[in-house]
Amino acid sequence: MTKENRHLIRPYGDTTGDGMVQVSFTLPIKHSKVADGAALQLANKMGMEPAMVVHSKPMGDDFTFFVVYGQVNHLVDTDKVQVVERDFPLLTPKEANAVIKETLRRPMVVVGACIGTDAHTVGIDAILNIKGFAGEKGLEYYKEIEVVNMGAQVSVPALVEAAVTRGADAVLVSQVVTQRDAHLLNTREMSAAFREAYPAGERPLLVVGGPRFDESMTTELGVDRIFGRGTTPAEVASYLVHRTTMKEPAA
Amino acid sequence: MRLDLDPRTIAQARALAAKVGDPIVELATKHTTVAVERATLRLAGLAGADPDGTPWVNHLVDAVRADIGLEHGIALPVWQALAARNNDLTRLAEEAAAGQVTFRLPEGAEAELAAKHAREAVGAGIARLDASRVTRERMIAETGDAPRKPWIYLIVATGDIYEDIPQAQAAAREGADIIAVIRSTGQSLLDYVPEGATREGFAGTYATQENFRLMRAALDETSRELGRYVRLTNYASGLCMPEIAALAGMERLDMMLNDSMYGILFRDINPVRTFVDQRLSRQIHARAGIIINTGEDNYLTTADAVEAAHTVTTSQLLNEYFAKEAGLEDWQLGLGHAFEINPDVPDSFRLELAHALLAKTIFPDAPLKWMPPTRHMTGDIFKGYLLDGFFNLAGAMTDQGILLVGMMTEAVVTPWLSDRDLALQNVRYVMDAAGRLGEDFHPAPDGFIANRAREVLGESIDLLEKIIDEPNGLLDAIADGTFGLMKRPADAGKGLEGVAEKSEAYYNPASDILEGK
């Protein structure tokens, strides 16, 4: 492979360029030779050619489970991949505190919650609790950040009220439950409520996080930033510092 | 596998739990709630709802409360009005909803007569609990029971009872001994029980009397087909604990999630409301022969599973105390715990074994409920499958009673058909390969596992002593964030407005009958 086309890649099994992938799926069909053939046909249509059905197992009378290995002929072009890259400098807690002290001249107020019926506080706690996540201390550890963690199942009106009374600079919302797009519905409800409660340009930064968000959906959801799986407290703190000290009004 | 623990230490822990729990029981006996009064009406046979879906029990309790308050209970004013108007309960509720009835508290002979009639009506509901229990026992005798322990517990949660039914039947055929129908998210915060068969839920299916009946009937059919009784589980938690307990008892559910503190900690329900509601709900479960499942596993989803291990033990001891006080027996105590230690922690499996064995040693006759990993299921389904295998192994080695089957797609999707099948293969392999491994191995008396178990029990005793030292005992500990790191003060939380201190005239035939008075 030449240096020029390193942005073009194929899956890797055990040899460069072999294009090997594995998938598993269920077909609603009785386990039989026909079922195996059907699985192979599906794999071929998915671009796996040649493909091998390495495992097929009946699950009850009407279903069969398959594991299929095969070669895909697709190339992916990493130059054409679009992601939300970090567009702010990553700060240590000490640096973040110093910037807040210098520019805001008061502690930054961050209100966090799991809204709606979501009771999974693991995300918001990982970001806010002193204990933190991935070896990084949470926002409560930052001397210049005042954290109000409202916990689970907070209603949107209660969140807005807390943001207003505490003078929040930023509101962090975690959404883990995604059945029937609950995370998207809740986030839209939340951003709409903030738009209503604050004069234009004065509302706090709205940040949502959770494992199933698409980080590029900020405009659609009416928030300033979406953080996905694996986000660490320092990333969130750095973003908040970057945005609140830039003097750029929230959208 | 058995752990060598000093029985005096265990007895000391139990005595401390009783000391912590006693003032809470006293608090519970001095108060009533809207849910307690509604449950009483449900036992007396009042069912159904108005065209907008507001149950008649809510209408009737609200009407009585508006006229004379909640503190006397609804039995005397309702049965006084029934006698005066020569009505049945549903008609009375309709008229009360329309504002056509003025309730008053009867006295003297009139009160005695109202009490007598109320007791007869509620007694009929209690007789239905008894009848369900007899039917269950007869069915188990006729069709056979689950073939071995632990019982395999699987969840269905489609939101549509008519989708749940074939899924539950399929899960039973695949090997489930227990089917749990997860409730719609948010039902715990509804201050009423929805009515009828429901087809729209949010990440779960509403708990209603009709849904209970439909699912139990379907599982009865499957039980006969399979030659083993398949148990049905639902949730008596949230703002309607005692009402749902009554419906579950009458419709012959077999197990109910029922924790003494879960609603407080994880649903922000007022502590007094919870403790009052919980007591009647457990008295009903005791009578109906229902096994409760407590929720200690939840603490470990918010707090660290090693650091907070002793809060699980403490809560188990408290749950046991409250359960026994309400009349439940050891075989009805599915005390909860979970496999939630970070797999990156060195010796994590040995720590899990120590915690699981500690629970089994303290509660040898309780069917402990062993919950699979959720917190460290990362989306790496292959690693998750291995972790679930170790969870199953710990469950087998430590003789757990109820094993909730872990899914490798936890935190990814609601389980697919294939996820459930793979998960059951995992359980079966471990049980067949190592189910009796515990007979061969015993932890060394001064080894890592035994020492860790003693350490956790010691910390649990320290915590109980600390709680006793608080001016308001357990209520202060809950307010401080002792359990699951949630801070819940006694004068806040949802449902507080539905609590009243009982008056001298208070009468409730349900608690009287259930307490053998």
pLDDT digits (tens, 9 = 90+) for B216-269: 999 999 999 999 999 999 999 899 999 999 999 999 999 999 999 888 887 789
Which residues in chain A are closer than 8 Å to B302, comparing Cβ atoms? 121-122, 125
Find the CB nearest B301 among A26, A122, A151.
Answer: A122
Closest chain B residue to A59, measured at CA: B421
Whether B67 and B103 have beta carbons less than 8 Å apart is answered as yes
Compute the nearest-CA separation of A64 from chain B (Å): 9
Q: Using one digit for the tens of pLDDT, what is the confidence trace for B362-397?
A: 999 999 999 999 888 888 999 999 999 999 999 999
Q: Using one digit for the tens of pLDDT, what is the confidence trace for A145-162?
A: 999 988 878 889 999 999
Indicate if the pLDDT at residue B80 is higher than 90.
yes
Split into its structural domains, chain B has a count of 1
Annotated catalytic residue, options A3, A131, A137, A247: A131
CA angle B221–B225–B226, rounded 5-degree value:
120
The residue written with tokens 């003032």 in the block is: B23
Span B332-339, average pLDDT: 96
Confidence of residue B485 (pLDDT cuts 50, 70, 90): low
Span B26-39, average pLDDT: 98
* Chain B interface includes A58 (CB < 8 A): no
* Chain A interface includes B9 (CB < 8 A): no
Distance CA B168, CA B145 (A): 17
Distance CA B78, CA B68 (A): 11
Distance CA B506, CA B118 (A): 13
Question: How many cross-chain Cβ pairs, A to B, lie less than 8 Å apart?
Answer: 56
Which residues in chain B are closer than 8 Å to A29, comparing Cβ atoms? none
Give one word for A55, left, alpha or beta, with left for phi > 0 and alpha for psi -120 to 50. beta
Distance CA B344, CA B378 (A): 13
Q: Using one digit for the tens of pLDDT, what is the confidence trace for A174-184?
A: 987 777 788 89
Is B50 inside any structural domain? Answer: yes
Whether B367 and B333 have beta carbons less than 8 Å apart is answered as yes
Confidence of residue A3 (pLDDT cuts 50, 70, 90): low
Q: What is the dihedral of CA A225, A226, A230, A236, to 10 degrees?
A: 20
Find the CB nearest A60 among B173, B267, B268.
Answer: B173
**Pick from A39-48, A68-77, A124-133, B342-351: least confident:** A124-133
- Indicate the SS3 state at residue B63: helix
Q: Using one digit for the tens of pLDDT, what is the confidence trace for A226-242?
A: 998 888 899 999 999 99
Distance CA B95, CA B86 (A): 13
* Chain B interface includes A189 (CB < 8 A): no
Say which CATH superfamily domain A93-245 falls into.
Cobalamin-binding domain (3.40.50.280)
- Indicate the SS3 state at residue B339: coil
Beta bridge partners of residue A205, listed in sequence order: A170
Q: Using one digit for the tens of pLDDT, what is the confidence trace for B443-483?
A: 999 999 999 999 999 999 999 999 999 999 999 999 887 87
Which residues in chain B are closer than 8 Å to A180, comparing Cβ atoms? 202-203
Closest chain A residue to B262, measured at CA: A119
Distance CA B368, CA B152 (A): 12
Cis bond upstream, residue B150 (ω within 30): yes
Indicate if the pLDDT at residue B439 is higher than 60.
yes
* Percent of chain B with pLDDT strictly greater than 70: 100
Q: Using one digit for the tens of pLDDT, what is the confidence trace for B162-201?
A: 999 999 999 999 899 999 999 987 788 899 999 999 998 8
Residue B487 is predicted with a pLDDT of 77
Beta bridge partners of residue B494, listed in sequence order: B269
Is B72 inside any structural domain? Answer: yes
ipTM (interface predicted TM): 0.83
CB contact under 8 A, A26 and B174: no
CB contact under 8 A, A153 and B375: no
Nearest to A152 by CA among B298, B194, B182: B298
- Is B369 known to be catalytic? yes
Nearest to B512 by CA among B92, B21, B32: B32
Residue A248 is predicted with a pLDDT of 47
- Which of 255-284 (B) contact A at CB < 8 A? 266-268
Residue type for position A81: V
Domain of residue B94, residue span? 31-123
Is B292 inside any structural domain? Answer: no
Is B323 inside any structural domain? Answer: no
The residue written with tokens 């003297």 in the block is: B108
Find the CB nearest B203 among A24, A26, A177.
Answer: A177
* Structure tokens given for B374: 């959720």
Is B94 inside any structural domain? Answer: yes
Kindly give the residue spans of alpha helices, DSSP state H, lying in B69-153: 75-85, 89-97, 108-143
Indicate if the pLDDT at residue A250 is higher than 50.
no
Residue A2 is predicted with a pLDDT of 56
- Indicate the SS3 state at residue B155: strand
The dihedrals phi and psi of B337, each to the nearest 5 degrees, come to -160, 175
CB contact under 8 A, A120 and B174: no
Compute the nearest-CA separation of B513 from chain A (Å): 37
Q: In what order do the strands lie in the sheet with A63-72?
A: A20-27, A63-72, A48-59
Is B113 inside any structural domain? Answer: yes
Indicate if the pLDDT at residue B301 is higher than 70.
yes
Indicate if the pLDDT at residue B517 is higher than 70.
yes
CB contact under 8 A, A211 and B170: no
CATH architecture of the domain A3-78 equals: 2-Layer Sandwich (3.30)
Is B207 inside any structural domain? Answer: no
Whether B481 and B487 have beta carbons less than 8 Å apart is answered as yes
DSSP β-ladder status, B369-371 and B402-404: parallel
Residue B298 is predicted with a pLDDT of 83
* Structure tokens given for B79: 């049965």
Distance CA B462, CA B456 (A): 10
Residue B187 is predicted with a pLDDT of 87
CB contact under 8 A, B414 and A180: no
- Which of 121-140 (A) contact B at CB < 8 A? 121-122, 125, 129, 131
Find the CB nearest A153 among B267, B304, B375.
Answer: B267
* Structure tokens given for B479: 């307010």
**Domain parsing of chain A, residue ranges:** 3-78, 93-245
Span B268-295, average pLDDT: 96
Confidence of residue A247 (pLDDT cuts 50, 70, 90): low
Confidence of residue A249 (pLDDT cuts 50, 70, 90): very low
Q: Using one digit for the tens of pLDDT, what is the confidence trace for A183-195?
A: 899 999 999 999 9
Indicate if the pLDDT at residue B320 is higher than 60.
yes
* Percent of chain A with pLDDT strictly greater than 90: 65
**Pick from A2-6, B170-174, B198-202, B424-428: least confident:** A2-6
Confidence of residue A70 (pLDDT cuts 50, 70, 90): very high
Enter the DSSP assignment of B144: -
* Chain B interface includes A12 (CB < 8 A): no
- Is A131 known to be catalytic? yes
Whether B250 and B125 have beta carbons less than 8 Å apart is answered as yes
